[in-house]
Amino acid sequence: MSNTTLFYLSMLICIPMLAVAVWGWRRWWRDDTATTMGRFLKNSSIPIAANIFGKVLDLGFAAVTLRALGPEASGAWSFVALITSMYLVTIVNWGLNDLAVREAAVNPDAAQHVFGVGVTMRWLMALVVVPLTLLGMWVLRDTMPPLSWGTQIALAILLVHLWPAGTAAAVSASFQAAQRMEVPALVVMITSLLRTMVGIALVLWLPTSDTRIVAMGSVALGATILNAGLLWWFQRRLLFRAGPQWDWPLMRRMWISAVPLLLNSLLLTVFFRFDAIILRSVAGDTVLGLYDAAYKVVSLTQIIPPYVVGALFPLLAHRAVHDRATLDPLLARAIGVLQLVAWVGVVVVTVLADDLIWVLGGTAYLPDAATALRVLIWYLPLSYTTGVVQYALIAIARQQAITWAFLVGTIVNIGGNLLLIPVYGALAAAAMTIATEVALLAALWPTLRREGIGVPLPRIAVTGLIALVAVALALGGEMLGIPRLLALSIVVLGMGATTWRLGYVDAAITDTLSRIGTGFFFRIRK
């Protein structure tokens, strides 16, 4: 039995498991008796689990497509996917997600109207963005390697997906504001499962790289339409019935208010992935394909922060207005937990980089992709920290400081990449990602101090030293003949115990987790 067949069987088994999980959740969870910390953990842990499930499916899909396409075609596909799914989707959403969540969290009665206006605004933005993108691609056609016919068709398909993607984002913001993030999590699991099953079948059936790329774009469009449709249906059943609405004064105010958030998102996208555009222009699709393979592993580490911050943001927004004194302790707890997760991820990925790349793409991507991965992963702890403090600043209406910080980070990133990529290739792009995070935190620091928002830099530094020691011990143990996974497991457990003994894991969080676990056990027994 082939690995692909086993993967398919595993996905089929997931279908009844999803049904059981939904049944168990409805039996156990009681929203009316949940504490604030319990809701926070629910709204972060369930989407994280769902996204992990989706990322596992994505990795299985990537393991098939990377081998089927090869580094060159994989680089071409990653380029059009990057342009549409990161840059254009960001522009279409216009920073409205965070603005809608903030408005609805402060004034729940306005949620229905904000949603309807937000959908209309996103659809209008897509009408503007698509022709401008096609015009820009035509104007710049001589500055980069040409796109194959299959990649061009895939780009056109992905442009169409901007409309359902904007719709899905608007509905997700409604559930986030209502602190019902388990609903989008369920939809993500369903669409990820179907997308992966259909996508793998088409990629294995079609004969050429171009036809496979077209199929991947088509599957992405279909999954996005399904995602938007299911979310809208759940919103009508669980929250409110609303459709697109026209309110020009509100639209104008939201467009203006969301400009800093849009710029923040765009600058974040630029300084994290503009290196891919430079890599393709300087070194071609093959080098981009190798770097993208490393980034697919790193993308797994970005599962946690958006959902933790997404669950945290309504609480931050509420406390910023009604109980400012409790804002900083809540922020410190979130940073503490994310730091532990980040440093464990750094150790695991650094030690297992070769194995991870081999599993994902095979020997065609070694050793270059693994080397880039070992460098790239060290950006993670600072990334987790800045991701949280950004939303704290948004909650207190200081998003202009984030725009300035992202501008600084973008200048550092683009300047460094333009200077170093022609010499060092993908390795330079990975190193500049770390340097960009340092620049971002440095630019935010004056505002954080002025607003009294604390960032535990000594704790981050000490945990980093512990991680360095853990990597050295794991590699040293392997040299002494200890199996790699055993050595890694020992040092990770040692890291957890050390940070706990140092007091870096907040007692309120551990107590809440213990209480939730006990409650779950007794409710299931009933």
Q: How many Å separate Cα 449 from the centre of its chain?
A: 28
Local confidence band at 516 (pLDDT 50, 70, 90 cut-offs): very low
Q: End-to-end CA distance of the chain, in Å?
A: 41
pTM over 0.85: no
Out of 21-30, 123-132, 138-147, pick the least confident.
Answer: 21-30
Q: Which amino acid, one-letter code, is at 102?
A: R
The answer to whether 76 touches 216, Cβ cutoff 8 Å, is no
Local confidence band at 105 (pLDDT 50, 70, 90 cut-offs): confident
- DSSP 3-state assignment of 303? coil
The answer to whether 48 touches 195, Cβ cutoff 8 Å, is no
Helix 96-106 vs helix 162-177: crossing angle, to nearest 10: 30
Out of 27-41, 374-388, 493-507, pick the least confident.
Answer: 27-41
Closest to 314 in 3D by CA, of 485, 106, 468, 18: 106
Residues written for the chain: 526
- What is the percent of the chain where pLDDT is above 90? 33
Local confidence band at 523 (pLDDT 50, 70, 90 cut-offs): very low
Quick one: DSSP state of residue 108? Answer: G
Local confidence band at 340 (pLDDT 50, 70, 90 cut-offs): confident
